[in-house]
Copies of this chain bind each other. A is one copy, B any other.
Amino acid sequence: MRPFRYLLLLPLLATTTLTMAQDKKLFTLDDLIPGGSTYYSHTPSRKYVTWWGDYCVELDLDKVGIIDNKTGQNTTLFTLDEINSILQTTTPLRSLYYASFPYADKSQVMIQHLGKQMLVDWKDKSIVWSVVNSPSATNTDFEPQSKNTAYTKDHNLYVQTSDGQVTQVSDDGCLDIVYGESVHRNEFGIEKGTFWSPKGNKLAFYRMDQSMVTTYPQVDISTRCATMVPDKYPMAGETSHKVQVGIYSPQTHGKIYLQTDDPTNRYFTNIAWSPDERKVYLIELNRDQNHAQLIRYDAETGKKEAVLFEEHNDKYVEPLHPIVFLPWDSDKFIYQTRRDGYNHLYLYNTDGKLLKQLTSGKFEVTELLGFNTKLKQVVYASNENDPIGISLWSVGMNSKRKALGETQGYHYPELSANGNYAIDRYSSPTQPYNIDLVNVADGKKVNIHQAEDPWKDYKVPEMKVGTVKAADGVTDLYYRLILPTDFDPNKKYPAVVYVYGGPHAHNIDASRNWGARGWDLWMAQNGYVMFCLDNRGSEHRGLEFEQATFRHLGVEEMKDQLKGVEYLKSLPYVDAERLGVHGWSFGGFMTTSLMTTYPEVFKVGVAGGPVIDWKYYEVMYGERYMDTPQTNPDGYAETSLLNKAQNLKGRLLIIYGGNDNTCVPQHSLSFIRACIDAGTHPDLFVYPGDEHNMMGTDRVHLHEHITRYFEDFLK
């Protein structure tokens, strides 16, 4: 369910303003929903910065400036006019927003212009290098040292070397056999299918044979006569694809495949290169996902050299991070695992020996950002400071951790190549959007951007965050409560619970508006109390918290949500007879589950892109949490909403993308069929042509539609 996660993280960055002044403005839905015509003018202002070595440079439409690490002052490096006078093309380059600076020690900027990729030296005023981009290339992967580019076209893999020569690496690519694309449905942290060695001399790539996987028939209604668009979709318990890892050498045109174990029902994840480009490391996993092995292969011969170590968990192990070698010691690497209950950094050597657990404690390392080579420190992000925040940290080889820069709020830091500085982008409930430059050595920060509150003239509803105890009676769960605009404590308001509830996501955090979505505010403005709670099973709270849901997704999650509802009902201004619930994807599953499991609690629900029966969901994500329909028939039966269709009492609107290839339409349609057979009456809406999430103006339409449903039946 990664596509959803992406959306979830679309940052809504600004500050919470508690104001009731009568002269303030009201929002339109377009102001609040991504895709709305006035959305961007209602988001905090941005500054586009990137790294050139240890220099932070600011990208502007017509110039690039260099920012002083100490003062934050911007000095122009070059202008768009200067670049265009070098390019001498009849059609000028229009913007420098997409410029990049791959070489710390060179005054060279990389740009894309008129179908070419070019390096321009702004000091020498010359075009240093250029190649013609291959038309219709996808999955483009440029390696700056070698200037080699890997890309795919029609499921085949191609490599363009720095001289512009193109070699077709595979020739039998098709829907059934794909090269150079992401595999295993983007699970296990996999987001791409090509992996350049550190100096770009070799390319590791995925090959996936999915000829044995069932084809889900998606239908394109936009053609003159509707056409079938086949999508290979392996469903839980069904035959899965087979993946191989190939190694291609642009110099020799040699191509080999790693001599792995039988790829049937095996996952090949987290590809990493040794610094000398001679070895490839994979984390391999059995289909049951309870046994992982870190394995080293010889990149020349493809031979399996060693299983460095293994991990086992009775429920599941989920490797998400390739190993990363220390820049100052090519025999040692960092490995991330939740084996002690939280995701932490471990130092290993290439014999597979554990040298040290670098971080530990009841918090999660959320990202390994890189290394400060000078200080021999690892720089990372974690929620140690606040379970619902993220901030910047370093840790030395002695396991001494240090908080860096601003520690409050929710941060997306980006480290410079040598790790001396970090660009620290963040927001908090009181800060709409800031960027600091942080000196890793001393942790000191210089602010280089502070966005004004874009909502200062608006009536922003009051938002609160707190905790309630989970259904286990022990665990603290975070909730967010939003009061209706112009709140009157003596009134009774309808309340809507927004829910996601699945793994790898959260809804409440220490960012702008406590992570509230624009629609939450819209509903508050329309007179609803909005409530949201991150139940057990959601992210950043450790392994036990997540694994409480194992083999019966939804069951514990619902119990926790009801604890939230209990609290909600205890509020004197909440009308317990008018409770609604809305969620998308896993949240659509939760919504439908809640409506049919606790039909007396919720009067109205809107479930988007829901999972209805985990047997229709895909192998990788689904079996991790549910095992297979064959090995866990009771769990599948208990959680299948096909078996609960007869319980529906309230008003439930199911919405899905007509071409959803994440939660395929079979989910929603099977539920509708089950309700018809049971004599119950859900409502339905479809966004033809859309996939798992509605984007652009469709997203505005969607939220109008959802709102209307609550207005029709909950108000």
Assess the B681–A684 pair: CB atoms within 8 A: no
Complex CA–CA separation, A697 to B615 (angstroms): 27
Complex CA–CA separation, A226 to B665 (angstroms): 9
Assess the B670–A221 pair: CB atoms within 8 A: yes
Contacting B at CB under 8 A, from A487-538, are none
Assess the A676–B664 pair: CB atoms within 8 A: no
Q: How far is the CB of A681 from chain B (nearest CB, A)?
A: 6
Copies in the complex: 2
Q: How far is the CB of A692 from chain B (nearest CB, A)?
A: 16
Closest B residue to A676 using CB positions? B701
Contacting B at CB under 8 A, from A652-686, are 658, 664-666, 669-670, 672-673, 676-677, 679, 681, 683-686
Assess the B224–A235 pair: CB atoms within 8 A: yes
Q: Does A214 contact B (CB under 8 A)?
A: yes
Q: Does A225 contact B (CB under 8 A)?
A: yes
Contacting B at CB under 8 A, from A77-101, are none
Q: Does A704 contact B (CB under 8 A)?
A: yes
Per-position contact with B for A198-241: 1 when CB-CB < 8 Å, else 0? Answer: 00000000000000001111010110111110100101001000
Q: Does A125 contact B (CB under 8 A)?
A: no
Contacts of A670 in B (CB 8 A): 221, 688
Majority-rule SS of A interface residues: mixed
Q: Does A705 contact B (CB under 8 A)?
A: yes
Assess the A219–B221 pair: CB atoms within 8 A: no
Assess the B676–A669 pair: CB atoms within 8 A: no
Complex CA–CA separation, A684 to B683 (angstroms): 7
Contacting B at CB under 8 A, from A389-440, are none
Contacts of A24 in B (CB 8 A): none
Q: How far is the CB of A54 from chain B (nearest CB, A)?
A: 48
Assess the B228–A235 pair: CB atoms within 8 A: no
Contacting B at CB under 8 A, from A38-89, are none
Assess the A214–B221 pair: CB atoms within 8 A: no
CB < 8 Å: which of B225, B658, B669, B686 contacts A238?
B225
Assess the B685–A683 pair: CB atoms within 8 A: yes
Closest B residue to A664 using CB positions? B226
Q: Does A712 contact B (CB under 8 A)?
A: yes
Q: Does A698 contact B (CB under 8 A)?
A: yes
Complex CA–CA separation, A676 to B655 (angstroms): 13
Assess the A233–B228 pair: CB atoms within 8 A: no
Contacting B at CB under 8 A, from A677-714, are 677, 679, 681, 683-689, 697-698, 701, 704-705, 708, 712
Complex CA–CA separation, A689 to B658 (angstroms): 16
Closest B residue to A629 using CB positions? B224
Assess the B684–A684 pair: CB atoms within 8 A: yes
Complex CA–CA separation, A666 to B214 (angstroms): 24
Assess the B228–A217 pair: CB atoms within 8 A: yes
Contacts of A685 in B (CB 8 A): 672, 683-684
Contacts of A701 in B (CB 8 A): 676, 679, 681
Q: How far is the CB of A617 from chain B (nearest CB, A)?
A: 11
List 9 A–B pairs whose Cβ atoms lie within 8 Å, in order of A's numbering.
A217-B228, A224-B235, A224-B238, A225-B235, A669-B686, A673-B688, A676-B687, A681-B705, A681-B708
7 tightest A-B contacts by CB? A217-B228, A214-B225, A669-B688, A673-B688, A226-B666, A221-B669, A221-B666
Having A673-B688, A683-B685, one finds 15 other A-B pairs with CB under 8 Å, namely A217-B227, A219-B219, A219-B665, A221-B665, A221-B666, A224-B238, A225-B235, A228-B228, A228-B230, A658-B669, A672-B686, A673-B689, A681-B701, A684-B685, A686-B686
